Amino acid sequence: MTPARISVRQAAMLLITPITATGHLLFVRIVFRNAGKDGWISLGIALALGAVGLLILIRLLVLHQGKNLLQIAEELLGSISGRVVGALVLAHLLFVNAVLLRSFGDFMRLVLPQTPLIVLIGVMMLLATRAARHGLEVLARTNDIMLPLLIATGGLLSILISKDKQPRYLMPILENGWQPVLAGALALQGLFAETLLLGMFSHQVAGARSSLHHVLWIIGVLGVLFIGPITGPPTVFGPASVHAMVYPTWEEVKHVQMADLIGNLDVMGVLLWTLGTSMQTSLFLWSTSNGVAWLLKLDDFRAVVAPLAVLTTGLAVLVSDNAQELFNFLAREYPLESILAGVLLPLGLLIWSIIRR
């Protein structure tokens, strides 16, 4: 099969969608639990750290043009050690996909309380399976249409809610010191470290050696896309109220009214997260399937898409007993695991690559 080719712009947009969908729905709450109204400071720190982590990954990929992260690990560490590292990366991607899919299912049960969890998760995975089998180029073209729609819808909601915001609620700054702010930044940095996905399809980016560093502009875009959800709920409801909310961004969307005539726009929030999560699940599934095909030396990744989809669905159902347990994992263990896979691993490979050269 002739490898699909996508542009650097498409690669960058593929990274923005899953990070934004997950961040707005789940990680905004984690930031508020840690940093409260100072979450915007946590965001600034996390963006700086995210830029460093992404720069490390890009530097590694450019040094090994035409190879993805798994192939680079095999080249640098040897066949056995490299494949062990690759298997661990794939296990991380599969587990994260299951956790995020389950988190979305828990959210949708608030919207559709009579629908069984397995149905909500299963329908999303069926869509992701079909999309992943069509390949990276189809995912990228679909995302070209979807992401601008998501940004425009989110921007409209942000404008409609702006009249109810009270910036004075963000004062005083650093009321509780730096420790809560740094904890919030660590959580967001774990989310931004999922730019690791770039390492799974970098070998299919056209002109990667000369232009892959242009992907760095996504850090600025993420800053713009996150500043509203990070500052919106505290300035609308007050810091104390936000701390007790399960999905602060959704509560903010439900508060939106248009010209005092049209309300109940929370369906637009559900649309945003459903579309974003579908792209996120599809991209994770495609990345895992391609990695497993490489690990097993298969000619066609599509042979393992369906089995991995079934495995991910089962894991998503069994991964947690309740939503609070899953939230605790995302707030505590997930950032460390994500930073290890998305930042420290590429950094170690880059250092070893430079030493060998």
Number of domains in the chain: 1
Mean local confidence (pLDDT), 55-76: 91
Closest CA to 26 of 176, 245, 338: 245
End-to-end CA distance of the chain: 32
1 part of a folded domain: no
Q: How many CB atoms lie within 10 A of CB 293?
A: 18
Closest CA to 103 of 247, 215, 202, 229: 247
Q: Yes or no: say if 73 and 82 are a contact pair by the CB < 8 Å rule.
A: yes
Q: Which domain holds residue 191?
A: 8-356
Report CA 86 to chain centroid distance, whole Å: 20
Q: Give the length of the chain.
A: 357
Residue 257: the pLDDT is 63
3 part of a folded domain: no
344 part of a folded domain: yes
Residue 264: the pLDDT is 62
Strand, helix or coil for residue 357? coil
Q: Give the whole-angstrom CA distance, residue 31 versus residue 45.
A: 12
**Average pLDDT value for the chain:** 87
Each residue's pLDDT tens digit, 118-171: 999 999 999 999 999 998 999 999 999 989 988 888 888 888 787 778 888 888
319 part of a folded domain: yes
Mean local confidence (pLDDT), 54-76: 91
pLDDT at 2 over 50: no
pTM: predicted TM-score of the whole model, two decimal places = 0.91
CATH no. for residue 288?
A: 1.20.1740.10
56 part of a folded domain: yes
Q: Which amino acid, one-letter code, is at 281?
A: T
Work out the percent of the chain whose per-residue pLDDT is above 90: 45
Work out the percent of the chain whose per-residue pLDDT is above 70: 96
Strand, helix or coil for residue 134? coil
